[in-house]
């Protein structure tokens, strides 16, 4: 296997929200945490939070001293707080300067006419940000697709007598835990990880809604185009202000159902889904 060129990478970063300066006096720190407790109690007087679950626990990591606690033993679903744990683990294990690398490779031979009698491989390195709009300077100035194509052309390849293959083998094939909610995994926020992710494994589908509540909706477009993906659309127009539609689909399957509602009288109302097979899609895009 021959590597075509250097390739794209992204740096793991940790978002740090400044809260308490390390040079503060310990007494002042405790005072601030006491103010946190008072603020929490004041917040929980809101009628909208009367059925909520709230807990808070802070310790001095050097001494183990409890600085403040509020319902410290209450069991709650961690939700997105879990991202702090996974990010901290990545920083500890991989280091702050670790870079995910995606490589282009080929097998076979290039003949005198510029035909590659073999295949081109996109070898995924687990980069979660490949093609993300959040990193436009990194991936789109210039476009990483153009950089890939230029790398292939520089080898003298004009034609491929073979296939473009996306390789996500750095991760296991079973990437969706069985406990994930069916109502989540077809939507952008429930996208399964992949050894070869692209565009954050996300696509947009645009719907036109009728003028009255209860009217049917129609699909106006999909961006980017996902090969073979088709939809059964049961979304209705409604007297709502936000996206209340859900895409039901699974990893490696191309038939999705969309249910729920969107605001009435809309043109190209956007909802977002998860790409069912990101590695295949990446190969399709390059091809």
Tens digits of residue pLDDT in 89-124: 999 999 999 999 999 999 999 999 999 999 999 999
Q: To the nearest whole number, what is the mean pLDDT of the chain? A: 87
Choose between 62 and 236: higher pLDDT: 236
Peptide bond into 142 cis (omega under 30): yes
Residue 206 in contact with residue 270, Cβ under 8 Å? yes
Distance (Å, whole) CA 82 – CA 95: 19
62-66, 87-91, 225-229, 230-234: which has the minimum mean pLDDT? 62-66
Look at residues 258, 262, 255, 270 and name the one whose alpha carbon lies nearest to residue 183. 258
Report the percent of the chain where pLDDT is more than 90. Answer: 68
Q: Pick the residue with more confidence: 58 or 37?
A: 58
**So what's the pLDDT on residue 115?**
97
For residue range 232-268, list pLDDT tens digits in order: 999 999 999 999 999 999 999 999 999 999 999 999 9
Residue 190, φ and ψ in degrees, nearest 5: -115, 20
- Please spell the DSSP secondary structure of 118-181, one letter per residue: S-EEEE----TTTT-GGGHHHHBTTBHHHHHHHHHHHTT--EESS-EEEE-TTS-S--S-TTS-
Task: State residue 186's pLDDT score.
Answer: 95
**Token pair 């091809």 is at which residue?**
287
Query: Hey, how many other C-beta atoms are within 10 angstroms of the C-beta on 95?
Result: 10
List the 115-117 sheet strands across, edge first.
109-110, 115-117, 159-160
pLDDT band for 22, please (50, 70, 90 cuts): very low
C-alpha 160/C-alpha 73 separation (Å) is 61
Over its C-alpha atoms, the chain yields an Rg (Å, rounded) of 24
Q: pLDDT tier at 143 (50, 70, 90 boundaries)? A: very high
pLDDT at 100 (0 to 100): 94
Torsion angle defined by CA atoms of residues 116, 119, 125 and 130, in that order, rounded to the nearest 10 degrees: 70
pLDDT of residue 228 exceeding 90: yes
């Amino acid at each position: 296997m021959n590597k075509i060129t250097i390739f794209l990478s992204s740096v793991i970063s940790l978002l740090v929200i400044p809260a308490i300066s390390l040079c503060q006096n310990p007494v002042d720190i405790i005072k601030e945490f006491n103010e946190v407790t008072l603020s929490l109690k004041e917040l929980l007087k809101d009628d909208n939070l009367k059925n909520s679950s709230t807990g808070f626990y802070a310790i001095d990591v050097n001494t183990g001293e409890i600085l403040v606690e509020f319902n410290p033993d209450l069991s709650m679903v961690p939700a997105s707080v879990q991202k702090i744990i996974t990010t901290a683990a990545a920083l500890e294990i991989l280091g702050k300067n670790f870079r995910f690398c995606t490589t282009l490779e080929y097998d076979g031979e290039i003949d005198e006419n510029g035909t590659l009698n073999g295949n081109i491989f996109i070898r995924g390195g687990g980069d979660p940000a490949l093609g993300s709009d959040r990193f436009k300077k990194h991936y789109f100035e210039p476009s990483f697709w153009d950089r890939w194509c230029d790398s292939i052309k520089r080898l003298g390849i004009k034609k491929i007598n073979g296939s473009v293959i996306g390789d996500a083998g750095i991760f296991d094939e079973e990437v969706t835990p069985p406990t994930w909610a069916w109502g989540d995994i077809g939507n952008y926020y429930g996208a399964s990880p992949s050894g070869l992710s692209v565009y954050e494994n996300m696509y947009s589908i645009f719907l036109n809604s009728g003028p009255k509540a209860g009217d049917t909706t129609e699909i106006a477009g999909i961006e980017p185009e996902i090969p073979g993906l088709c939809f059964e659309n049961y979304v209705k127009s409604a007297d709502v202000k936000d996206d209340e539609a859900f895409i039901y689909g699974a990893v490696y399957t191309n038939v999705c159902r969309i249910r729920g509602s969107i605001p009435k009288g809309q043109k190209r109302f956007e909802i977002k889904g998860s790409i069912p097979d990101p590695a295949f899609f990446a190969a399709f895009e390059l091809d």
